Chains A and B, each alone.
Chain A
């Protein structure tokens, strides 16, 4: 009997401890930029969802495709309808780990350069991603920033020849996530 109680307490304790190291955002920022001979295309997304777990050095990101906003609404329509097929694949996501050279905790206030490795899924296609990122630990929050390139063709996104000069083959992705502590309900 005592045995069960201690196991239960142990588990309960673990849950509480691990929750303290998790940070969440529901309105993170992701931007992509495509520079082609005929035009530059930029789209902003302010509805990015992510959790970073300092104890496990893990991060997960969900990017709702329909939340990308363009200068021209026709671009947004083509982006969703013809390229990313957002009805079939409503989200892009990332799941991975980071390495800061040491175990980071909430007490390591300041800016840390980390190497991120993981799986990036766009348009239903998953590819490995390696990127350098900056993790800024503040009192009560965490900020993560990174910039990396994505080859459009890697994710089975076809660009017809007629718009070859309008859309770049490689687009630059900028990420800026401001996390707050995850409150356990």
Chain B
């Protein structure tokens, strides 16, 4: 009898619980449906943090036209209009072949360099039904210096350099994102005496949103076992992203002259704290 009583009370309790649960139709709906996977979009506004790439890839069938520009050094004096007389430009096109694969090509005025790259995105940060703490992108590029009459760099092979990079990023909150960029750059032939063909570097960068459409970005690449050359420095850049509808404008100050990995990681000749700073901008338009 005691058992039966317990059973009945249990049944009673279950009935009451389910009745109350149904009392609120919204919680019934929540019970019946599961939260979909929520992908974390827009870890960064642009495909470039400043000089280097971000985990942002082009979406499927989306084409981006990117104009990157660096002026001369701001400490070059009034005669050079504080660097504005000097111009370094890279024109680039990037296209999303699939959701996970972006291809791009570019041409830099510096050393008349052509570059081509692939960006593969195997992991995308998400929460909800499936949680993934980071976004991960593998970036690889090839750059060809087409500058003629450079002593010792006449043959095609010596003009080529390759970059491999893993981009690991996390958007901690809508306003705060960080990224790590372990990088390997292989130059078939190096200009520096005793220079190594392979250069490992670790990049670190991030952004803080100042308003919904403006963010402050910073990026630094540390070179491991860097050649002992007082004319070469680690690349540092600080800048702003300004977003207006289809455009992203990036304005920045950096000690690097070029806008491809081989250039700004291994061949940065400016001393940021000595005032060798280049003002520059990236303008991107997505079609």
What residues make up the interface of A, taking CB atoms closer than 8 Å to B? 1, 4-5, 7-8, 11-12, 14-15, 18-19, 22, 24, 26, 47, 49-51, 53, 56, 58-60, 62, 64, 66-67, 72-74, 76-78, 80-82, 85-88, 90, 93, 95, 158, 160, 162-163, 166, 182
Contact = CB atoms under 8 A, between A and B. Distances in A.
Given A12-B11, A81-B42, A82-B212, A49 B18 contact: no
Nearest to B27: A60
> Could you tell me the dominant secondary structure of chain B's interface residues?
mixed
A18 B22 CA distance: 9
Given A51-B28, A77-B42, A162-B244, 7 more contacts: A4-B8, A4-B9, A11-B16, A26-B33, A56-B25, A90-B128, A95-B26
Interface of B: 5, 8-9, 11-12, 15-16, 18-19, 22, 25-26, 28-30, 32-33, 35-36, 38-42, 59-60, 62, 128, 174, 212-213, 243-246, 286
Contact of A53 (B18, B25, B32, B286): B25
Contacts of A66: 36, 38-39, 41
B18 A15 contact: yes
Given A5-B8, A82-B212, A160-B213, A60 B26 contact: yes
Nearest to B25: A60
Contacts of A50: 29
Contacts of A12: 11, 15
B8 A62 contact: no
5 contacts: A1-B5, A11-B12, A60-B28, A66-B41, A87-B40
Interface-central residue, A19, A81, A158, by most chain B CB under 10 Å: A81
Nearest to B30: A62
Listed from nearest, the 7 A-B pairs whose CB atoms lie closest are: A11-B15, A73-B59, A8-B12, A81-B42, A49-B33, A60-B25, A60-B26
A157 B4 CA distance: 59
A93 B213 contact: no
A100 B89 CA distance: 67
B24 to A, nearest CB: 9
A15 B174 contact: no
Contacts of B25: 51, 53, 56, 58-60, 95
A66 B128 CA distance: 12
B18 A8 contact: no
Given A1-B5, A49-B33, A81-B41, A7 B286 contact: no
Nearest to A50: B29
Contacts of A22: 28
Contact of A85 (B18, B174, B243): B174
A87 B174 CA distance: 7
A64 B18 CA distance: 26
A82 B12 CA distance: 50
A87 B39 CA distance: 9
A80 B41 contact: yes
Given A11-B12, A15-B15, A73 B60 contact: yes
Contact of A51 (B29, B35, B42, B245): B29
Contact of B19 (A5, A11, A81, A87): A11
Contacts of A53: 25
Contacts of A7: 12
Given A11-B12, A11-B16, A73-B60, A166 B36 contact: no
B34 to A, nearest CB: 9
